A and B are shown apart, each in its own frame.
Chain A
Amino acid sequence: GAGVSQSPRYKVAKRGQDVALRCDPISGHVSLFWYQQALGQGPEFLTYFQNEAQLDKSGLPSDRFFAERPEGSVSTLKIQRTQQEDSAVYLCASSRTGDHQPQHFGDGTRLSIL
């Protein structure tokens, strides 16, 4: 497709379960970002990939959060032992390069932890 694709669109999990969120960026985009958006707030940076290299993971809230992009295209954000405070919309964005190019966002995955 032409845009950034994220799946699933909605995810409900019980506290303590592991979840995996997928992001398929725009073809050819080198840079990939994950953001977390709480209700009524702006997105907050989680992590950044340039091709397959994770160059910044300073925004990941805890070691329960893990992201990968093994072949430099699709990325997965994994959350282990989920907690209620993990409930949020997780947004993925990609850009052609990392040189302050506009980031193009997917629709997000709305994660609800019961």
Chain B
Amino acid sequence: AQKVTQAQTEISVVEKEDVTLDCVYETRDTTYYLFWYKQPPSGELVFLIRRNSFDEQNEISGRYSWNFQKSTSSFNFTITASQVVDSAVYFCALSEYTGGGNKLTFGTGTQLKVEL
């Protein structure tokens, strides 16, 4: 069975600090996809990134960067120079093929609080 572990329940930082959110996953599939979503207080899950298991290149998008390491089954997310607007719950998810589609297995999320 697939599993995603986000060991950090809550992280508090001061604005402009860098912060890394950890994600460890388990799967028996050789081909799989990983995702990060942001859930602000409004509740809507916002897609941030998708990464497939064959692409281990790190990715950077503005202040966001992702470190995928297949050897340790980790897909960590770093926010550089955090801002108050980054405060949200962040979910890591693993995609599993099902009957023609793909269902997501989510971690329990990391609550990030960025304070002034």
Minimum CB–CB distance for A55 against chain B, Å = 4
Tally chain A residues at the interface, Cβ within 8 Å.
32
Identify the stretch in A15-23, A78-86, A100-108 within 8 Å (CB) of chain B at 4 or more residues.
A100-108
26 sample A-B contacts, Cβ–Cβ < 8 Å, listed by A number: A41-B109, A42-B4, A42-B93, A42-B107, A44-B106, A48-B101, A48-B103, A55-B98, A55-B100, A58-B98, A93-B45, A95-B101, A99-B102, A100-B50, A100-B52, A100-B97, A100-B102, A103-B47, A104-B47, A105-B37, A105-B45, A105-B46, A106-B44, A107-B43, A107-B44, A110-B43
A91 partner residues in chain B, CB cutoff 8 A: 45
A89 an interface residue at 8 Å Cβ cutoff?
A: yes
Task: Give the docked Cα–Cα distance between A82 and B113 (Å).
Answer: 35
Tally chain B residues at the interface, Cβ within 8 Å.
28
B interface, over-half SS = strand
Interchain CB contact under 8 A, A45 and B100: no
Interchain CB contact under 8 A, A108 and B101: no
- With both beta carbons as reference points, the residue of chain B lying nearest to A53 in the complex is identified as B100
How many A-B pairs fall under 8 Å by CB? Answer: 75
B98 partner residues in chain A, CB cutoff 8 A: 48, 55-56, 58
List 16 additional contacts besides A33-B101, A98-B102; criterion CB under 8 Å: A3-B44, A41-B108, A42-B91, A42-B106, A42-B107, A43-B91, A48-B98, A50-B101, A55-B101, A58-B98, A59-B103, A95-B101, A98-B101, A102-B35, A102-B50, A105-B37
